[in-house]
Amino acid sequence: MSVGDSTQQRIAAQVNAFKVAAIQMASGPNVTGNLSEARRLISKAAEQGARLVVLPEFFAIMGMTEQDKVAVREQPGQGPIQSFLSETARKHKIWLVGGSIPMAAGSPNKVKNTCLVFDDHGRQVASYDKMHLFNLELGNENYHEANTIEPGNKVVVVDSPFGRIGLAICYDLRFPELFRAMKNVDIIVLPSAFTETTGRMHWEVLVRARAIENLSYVIAAAQGGYHVNGRETHGNSMIVDPWGRVLDRLPRGSGVVVADINPSYQSSLRSSLPALAHRILFSSEK
């Protein structure tokens, strides 16, 4: 094979490639301020050519208390956060994964932690409610999401121009059966707010594991830094390819992570290592 042939093959492999972005923030209790920062970062991602952009978990509010998010929860199709997501997606002609936002729940004292997806026309095309609720009692850190969040019960996959996208949020990352239930998705999006305590040891390992075992790209958009409420989140937003390689990352602070997704490369990997076709389904133990 000549050098010219090799170059042509590399160019051909990139024909279907497209850019995606993960937004990292250190959100506070002011919704308006957080939306302004999100707007700035999304614009930055779009300027770099990203066609699919993912925001972090609760990007619009990290309150002083857990009840603060209940006060700003929105009804489906109504409210400033949803309007922001729709208008921003339409303005930049991007698919926008709205991290997660507090949505109305069955209980007046709780919210659903909901990931909404908007297409490039600003239309909502998918909605996923976080299933697994974080609980941690470790030293001075105590988190009990079930006190203010109502869990979802449906696996959500959305068909897009970029392939099949599976939706998950933060603590869901620890439950590989959720991702298997998505059934061969091309991209996994993971808005998160991992604590520094757990993220330091587990975040990258788990993100890369989900990419490898599903031969999927993972776009992990995280909260990252110190928050006004005293919480510290781990950050390290990253985009990981199906071979488990970290294509780009941002350790701390607000910013944008951008990388190319190459469907031809992914297809080649799945043909070379057809692990998804080799799965054996075991009967559940009683």
193 close to 255: Cβ distance less than 8 angstroms = no
pLDDT at 284: 62
Mean pLDDT of 211-232: 97
Mean pLDDT of 63-69: 95
Domain edges within the chain: 18-261
What does the alpha-carbon distance between residue 53 and residue 88 come to, in Å, rounded to a whole number? 11
Using a pLDDT cut of 90, give the percent of the chain over it: 88
| 69 given a catalytic annotation | no
pLDDT band at 143 (very low <50, low <70, confident <90, very high): confident
Catalytic one among 57, 74, 145, 150?
A: 57
pLDDT at 4: 47
| 57 given a catalytic annotation | yes
Catalytic one among 69, 112, 115, 170?
A: 170
Fold for the domain defined by 18-261: Nitrilase/N-carbamoyl-D-aminoacid amidohydrolase (3.60.110)
Catalytic one among 74, 130, 145, 150?
A: 130
pLDDT at 266: 97
Other C-beta atoms closer than 10 Å to the C-beta of 24 total: 29
pLDDT at 138: 81
| 115 given a catalytic annotation | no
What does the alpha-carbon distance between residue 258 and residue 277 come to, in Å, rounded to a whole number? 30
- CB-based contacts of 183, cutoff 8 Å, min separation 6: 157
Output the CA–CA distances (angstroms, integers) from residue 278 to 60, 112, 184, 207, 284, in the order listed: 41, 36, 12, 22, 19
pLDDT band at 140 (very low <50, low <70, confident <90, very high): confident
Mean pLDDT of 160-180: 97
Other C-beta atoms closer than 10 Å to the C-beta of 136 total: 14
Judged against a pLDDT cut of 90, whether residue 281 lies above it is answered with no
What does the alpha-carbon distance between residue 224 and residue 252 come to, in Å, rounded to a whole number? 5
pLDDT at 13: 44
pLDDT band at 15 (very low <50, low <70, confident <90, very high): low
Q: Chain centroid to CA 71: how far?
A: 24
Other C-beta atoms closer than 10 Å to the C-beta of 65 total: 11
| Burial label, 87 (beta-carbon count in 10 A; 0-12, 13-18, 19+) | middle
Other C-beta atoms closer than 10 Å to the C-beta of 181 total: 11
Judged against a pLDDT cut of 60, whether residue 10 lies above it is answered with no
